[in-house]
Amino acid sequence: MDPFVTILALMGIVIIVASLLSGALERNAVPIVAVFLALGALLGPFALGVLDVGFGSPELRVIAILALMLVLFSDGVTLNLRELMPRRGLLVRVLGPGTLVPAALIAVAASLLLGMSPPLAAILGAALASTDPVLLRTALRSRAVPDAARIALRMESGLNDIILLPVVVIAMLRSPNIYDDTHHGDSSALLGLFLLGPLLGVVVGWVGITALSQVRRRAGVRRDYESLYALGLAFCAYAAAEAVGGSGFVAAFAAGIMIDAQDAELCECFLEYGEATAEMFLLLTFVALGTTLIWSGLHAMTWRALVFAVIALVVRSAVLYPMLAGLGLAERERRLIALLGPRGLSTLLLVLLPVFAGVAGAESLFAVASTVVLISVVVHGGGVMWFLRSQSPRPAAEATPAVERPSALPVIDGHAEAAGDRITLDELQALQSRGEPVVIADARKDDVYLAGAPQAAGAVRIGPRDPVGDARALGVPREATIAVYCA
């Protein structure tokens, strides 16, 4: 099949399936990654035989590069520097020793157990130290996860790739090339990684935001196009850096950071469309890898590889848990941060870079990394699903929502002259006093809801994305009066 047609077909399938299953998967906390790996296997040569995406497939290279670029750009745009500054101590520990020490220990284990050379072991250690935002998505959107744990996990999954990417690139430069068996590192590559990439990313981001501000002020810009504008800056930053020998991935991340720092309004627009686009590419990559490649490690499974996989999955928790002491975190928060560290697409994308560069032995790295990722999808994905289900609220029919005092519901529209479908505080309390079924629904946007602002007493979460599905899942009686607040 023509590569262009293949990519279009994959994109269409992923968008359709993800859209149809999004509500059900999120409500039931089912790992979306597992579903799309299964979809890839169904389309692959082991089942229907429609697709077979191997290392030499041009569509894999395009999809993987776009996915990693959008992951890094999304990490930068959604970073929220204002939220991170008060938590500098937590940030330093999670991204410093909390990321680099596990990477080093995994590299040592790869060298001792699997007999890998130091450069290859370093690549594998860095790739497997990266935690995956896709597998954590449902947990990061849930109020069942305490605020401090959610912020720490979002920081780690959003920022550790940019810490580990230089390790992978430097190790690649010290590795022999499969074509000429010589090392291919030079100072210009390091210059592109640490200087040209960040510099061009910042420049593209700053010029783009400045131009947008001028046009906004003089002519106006449609809000839906601002989301596309953010993606356009990501593509331009990547292309500009790659054109002059810099790192396009670092440039995309730097451009995202600049947008976050300079234009909060554009960041908000990106959340509405850009993140969904980035996630589609991530799921598309899982489908492509799920046809054949990700199962490659299972064919070469040995006791040494299995022991290594266990070490790779537990070493982060063993290092991070004691390192979080002294930060004022509750015991439950420390345990969640240490345990919820899934390996997923970020790991696979990092380990694909040496494969595309022709590094000798890189394909064996991918096989080992795939084994660890598959185990992580089962262990961490299943763990997240169990945790969220165990923390789910009681059905609304069993709850007894009550207003302790008028100030507990400051966000409900409470004007005496309210008409139509609006309800006042007095009317709400009158319904409750008569014993009629009343449900108070928190329908704030996800970013506002997850910011940790106080919730109305007795309220249940009915999100704006799928209110009917949420109400059905919570068991809200059809005859109940639902008082909704969204400010």
Proportion of the chain above pLDDT 90, given as a percent: 26
- The pLDDT of residue 1 is 59
In a domain, 365, yes or no: yes
> What does residue 182 show for φ and ψ, rounded to 5 degrees?
-125, 155
What's the length of the chain?
Answer: 487
120 vs 486 pLDDT, higher one: 120
Average pLDDT over residues 358-368: 90
The verdict on residue 399 lying in a domain is no
369 contacts 351 by C-beta, under 8 angstroms? yes
What pLDDT is stored for residue 316 in this prediction? 95
Q: What is the 3-state secondary structure (H, E, C) of 77-100?
A: HCCCHHHHHHHHHHHHHHHCHHHH
Q: Could you tell me if 385 and 419 lie in one domain?
A: no
Residue, of 45 and 226, whose pLDDT is higher: 45
In this structure, is residue 156 part of a structural domain? yes
Q: Are residues 114 and 174 in the same domain?
A: yes
**Per-residue confidence band for 186, with pLDDT thresholds at 50, 70 and 90:** low
Most confident stretch, 263-267, 296-300, 330-334:
330-334
Asked if 18 and 53 sit in the same domain, the reply is yes
Residues 254 and 332 in one domain: yes
Supply the pLDDT for residue 175. 82
Domain boundary at 390, 415, 434, which?
390
30 and 98 assigned to the same domain: yes
Indicate the pLDDT class of residue 264, thresholds 50, 70 and 90: low
Does residue 344 fall inside a structural domain? yes
Q: Please, what sign has the CA dihedral across residues 434, 435, 437, 442?
A: positive
pLDDT at residue 406 in the model: 36
Q: What is the pLDDT of residue 393?
A: 56
Output the domain CATH number for residue 49. Answer: 1.20.1530.20
> How far is 454 from 426, CA to CA, in rounded Å?
21
CB 291 within 8 A of CB 43: yes
pLDDT at position 417: 38
What value does the mean pLDDT of the chain take?
Answer: 81
Domain with 456, as residue range(s), is: 406-485
Q: What is the pLDDT of residue 387?
A: 82
Structure confidence by residue, pLDDT tens digits, 79-135: 776 667 777 888 889 989 999 999 999 999 999 999 999 999 999 999 999 998 878
Q: What is the DSSP letter of 192?
A: I
pLDDT score for 301: 81
In a shared domain, residues 437 and 324: no
> Are residues 453 and 356 part of one domain?
no
pLDDT at 352 (0 to 100): 92
Is 217 found in the same domain as 186?
yes
Q: Which of 332, 362, 390 is the last residue of a domain?
A: 390
User: How high is the pLDDT of residue 411?
Assistant: 41
Pair (24, 136) in one structural domain: yes
Average pLDDT rounded to a whole number, residues 372-380: 92
pLDDT of 177 over the 80 cut: no
Instruction: Give the residue with greater pLDDT, 224 vs 109.
Output: 109
Domain identity same for 95 and 142? yes
**Judgement on whether residues 379 and 453 belong to the same structural domain of the protein:** no
Residue 236 lies in a domain: yes
Q: Is 181 left (phi over 0), alpha (psi -120 to 50) or beta?
A: left
401 part of a folded domain: no
For residue 446, the model assigns a pLDDT of 65
* Cα dihedral 195→196→199→200 (10° resolution): -170
Q: Which whole number is the average pLDDT over 224-237?
A: 86
CA–CA dist 434, 374 (Å, integer): 54
Given a cut of 90, whether residue 30 has pLDDT beyond it is: no
Domain co-membership, 330 together with 438: no
Comparing 57-71, 187-201, 327-341, which segment has the lowest mean pLDDT? 187-201
Question: Does residue 397 lie within any of the structural domains?
Answer: no
Query: Max alpha carbon distance in the chain (Å)?
Result: 83
Report whether pLDDT(271) > 90: no
**Boundary of a domain, candidates 390, 420, 442:** 390
User: Based on the structure, what is the number of domains in the chain?
Assistant: 2
151 within some domain:
yes
pLDDT average, residue stretch 452-473: 75
Tell me the average pLDDT across 253-274: 76
**pTM for the model:** 0.76
